[in-house]
Amino acid sequence: MASFTALSPEPRVNHPDPKPVATTVAYLNGEWKPLTDCSVPINTHALQYGTGAFEGIRGYWDGTRINILFLREHFQRLQRNAKMLLMEPPTAEAMAAIAVDLVRRNAPKTNVYLRPLVYKKGTTLGPVLVNVPDGFLAYLQPLGDYLDTSKGLSVCVSSWRRLPDNSIPTRTKATAGYLNSALAKSEAVMNGYDEAIFLNDRGQVCEGSAENIFLIRDGVLSTPDRTADILEGITRKAILMLAADLGIPFVERAVARTELYTCDEIFLVGTGCQVSYVRAVDKRTVGDGSRGPITARLQTAYENAVYGREPRYAAWLTAV
């Protein structure tokens, strides 16, 4: 079986060190196998047409166990999304049980990232969602920081527009939609930026390639609303909950591009990037270029919650 090797940069210093774990076992359509033995036919519908819906879930190692963050919420979202894409996924509870089993079987001793996927496993020709059988798979890998946040992020407004809801709904976390993300992220990286910020087809600020965005103006936290062609992020919702609990005023609303150049603070959130502050947009420094005070409060509160240091948010975590 394959050895676990860290695929990402080291976690930040306040996180436990990543330690390689023994072997990685994955779930594929009812079977548990070494990840390297899991394969799909080359004519798989999802491979040919991008017909899948996925999740990204973090498990945080607290020194004795893995705490899976928002287990139920991720599988409820996956189940809803797969159904919207005319797939017949296992129940949210069944998928969550497989995820827990995945962690148990691999017994990692480092932060991990779980990737479940509902997909069209049929091999028939033609881009159609009906009458094509569905599959379900799940694997995990170690994951420290997804973005290097030590200096803050330098981002650009992408020349690529976000997929409109009436084309490929971003809300569904469909595999096909990530070509849009890949184009934007690649352009950003090739131009020396850390991340891309999409505008939607109405020209409003939307989200990053794999993150939701927040900005702060005059003490008020704003984030694009749920009709802005965003993925309705689970971290986004958690941040809004934390803001409410910390007494930080917030609003979900349309955000104009030039607000990014004139606001006091910006940060990105997501399962992967967690809370990552932005130091510049299109080479324009945000605030004084350092992490702003409201970002710092929310980032600290989020980290305390996900590492199980805040009993108030214990329900966010499933210990394995």
Ligand X SMILES: Cc1ncc(COP(=O)(O)O)c(C=O)c1O
Active-site amino acid positions: 173
Q: Find, among 301, 284, 165, 143, the residue nearest to 231 by Cα.
A: 165
Binding-site member from 194, 207, 229, 265 for ligand X (CB under 6 A):
207
Report, in Å, the least distance between residue 110 CB and ligand X: 19
Q: Are strands 153-161 and 195-199 parallel, antiparallel or unpaired?
A: parallel
β pairing state of 250-252 and 265-270: unpaired
Residue 271 near ligand X by CB under 6 A: yes
**C-alpha distances in angstroms, 116 versus 21, 105, 140, 304, 306?**
20, 15, 9, 26, 20
Place of tokens 């240091």: 309
Task: Using CB under 6 A, count the residues that bind ligand X.
Answer: 14
The per-residue DSSP string of 11-44 comes to PPTTSPPP---SB-EEEETTEEEEGGG----TT-
Question: Which residues in 24-63 contact ligand X (CB under 6 A)?
Answer: 56
What is the tally of helices (H) and strands (E) in the chain? 7, 17
CB of 33 to ligand X, least distance (A): 26
274 binds ligand X (CB under 6 A): no
| Residue keyed to tokens 């774990």 | 21
Question: Among residue numbers 73 through 132, which ones bind ligand X (CB under 6 A)?
Answer: none
Residue pair 158/129 in contact (Cβ under 8 Å)? The answer is no
Tokens of 241: 């909950």
- In the list 158, 200, 212, 299, the residue contacting ligand X (rule: CB under 6 A) is 212
Using the rule CB under 6 A, give the single segment among 6-14, 80-88, 118-126, 206-214 that binds ligand X.
206-214
At closest approach, how far in Å is the CB of 147 from ligand X?
Answer: 12
Q: Is 210 an interacting residue with respect to ligand X (CB under 6 A)?
A: yes
Give 3's DSSP letter: B
Q: Which CB atom, from 122 or from 198, has the smaller least distance to ligand X? A: 198
- Beta carbon of residue 271, minimum distance to ligand X (angstroms, whole number): 3
Q: Among 106, 172, 222, 235, which residue interacts with ligand X (rule: CB under 6 A)? A: 235
Q: Which is nearer to ligand X, 66 or 147 (CB)?
A: 147
Q: Which C-beta is closer to ligand X: that of 74 or that of 109?
A: 74
> Which amino acid belongs to residue 80?
R
Q: Which of 85, 216, 234, 240 binds ligand X (CB under 6 A)?
A: 234
Tell the smallest beta-carbon distance from residue 14 to ligand X (Å).
21
- State in angstroms the smallest separation of the CB of 251 from ligand X: 19
- The helix or strand, by DSSP H or E, that contains position 68, with its residue range, turns out to be strand 66-69
Considering the complex, state which of residue 132 and residue 198 has its C-beta at the smaller distance from ligand X. 198
Q: Return the number of the residue (179 or 244) whose C-beta is nearest ligand X.
A: 179
Q: Given the rule CB under 6 A, which of 41-49, 234-242, 251-259, 286-294 is the region that contacts ligand X?
A: 234-242
Cβ–Cβ under 8 Å, residues 241 and 301: no
C-alpha closest to that of 254 among 194, 201, 293, 193: 201
Query: Given candidates 145, 194, 195, 211, which one binds ligand X under the rule CB under 6 A?
Result: 211
* Cβ count within 10 A of residue 47: 17
d(CA 95, CA 218): 43
Q: Of 149 and 235, which has the nearer Cβ to ligand X?
A: 235
**91 is written with which tokens?**
């129940």
- Amino acid 304 reads N
Residues that bind ligand X (CB under 6 A): 56, 181, 207, 210-212, 231, 233-236, 270-272
